[in-house]
């Protein structure tokens, strides 16, 4: 959440913003589309998805954002957007697996058991 990228005459430099100056909570924007006609849902979701994706800022952050869409019939969709410089394909698979495990546990009203997948970046 604190990762930043700066461009200089020498290329791109990666840095961490000071911990006290960064809100490390994931910004989740909720969109109530429950009154939107089903035929218009995809277009409205796409518009909001584009806005969320455009909100990512390599220099000032955030580099990840989320949107929760409430649709008619009590249906929901969750969008997670992470800049490609902060997540790779392997990490995405781990995130999706952990998210699905947590969802299944929540449906059973159980605590999720997410095992360690790798060594932390800091330890590495």
DSSP3 helix / strand / coil % (the chain, rounded to 5):
35, 25, 40
Domain-located, residue 11: no
Are 99 and 71 in the same domain?
Answer: no
Are 50 and 101 in the same domain?
Answer: no
Q: Per residue in 2-19, pLDDT tens?
A: 667 777 788 877 776 666
**Residue 11: predicted pLDDT:** 83
Q: Which residue segment(s) compose the domain that 114 sits in? A: 88-124
Distance (Å, whole) CA 99 – CA 67: 15
Domain-located, residue 17: no
Are 33 and 81 in the same domain?
Answer: yes
pTM passes above 0.85: no
Residue listed under structure tokens 């929760």: 68
Q: Per residue in 17-64, pLDDT tens?
A: 666 665 556 678 999 999 999 999 999 999 999 999 999 887 777 888
Q: What is the mean pLDDT of residues 99-124?
A: 83
Helices assigned H by DSSP within 55-78: none
Are 30 and 83 in the same domain?
Answer: yes
Element (H, E) at 30: strand 28-33
What is the pairing mode between strands 3-8 and 64-71?
unpaired
Q: Between residues 83 and 49, which one has the greater pLDDT? A: 49
């Amino acid at each position: 959440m604190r990762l930043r990228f700066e461009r200089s005459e020498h290329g791109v430099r990666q840095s961490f913003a000071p911990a006290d100056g960064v809100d490390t909570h994931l910004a989740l924007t909720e969109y109530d589309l429950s009154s939107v006609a089903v035929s218009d849902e995809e277009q409205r979701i796409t518009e909001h998805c584009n806005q969320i994706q455009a909100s990512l800022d390599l220099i000032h952050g955030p580099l990840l954002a989320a949107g929760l869409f409430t649709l008619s019939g009590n249906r929901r969709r969750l969008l997670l957007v992470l800049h490609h410089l902060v997540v790779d394909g392997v990490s995405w698979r781990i995130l999706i697996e952990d998210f699905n495990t947590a969802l299944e546990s929540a449906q059973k009203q159980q605590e999720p058991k997410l095992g360690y997948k790798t060594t932390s970046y800091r330890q590495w």
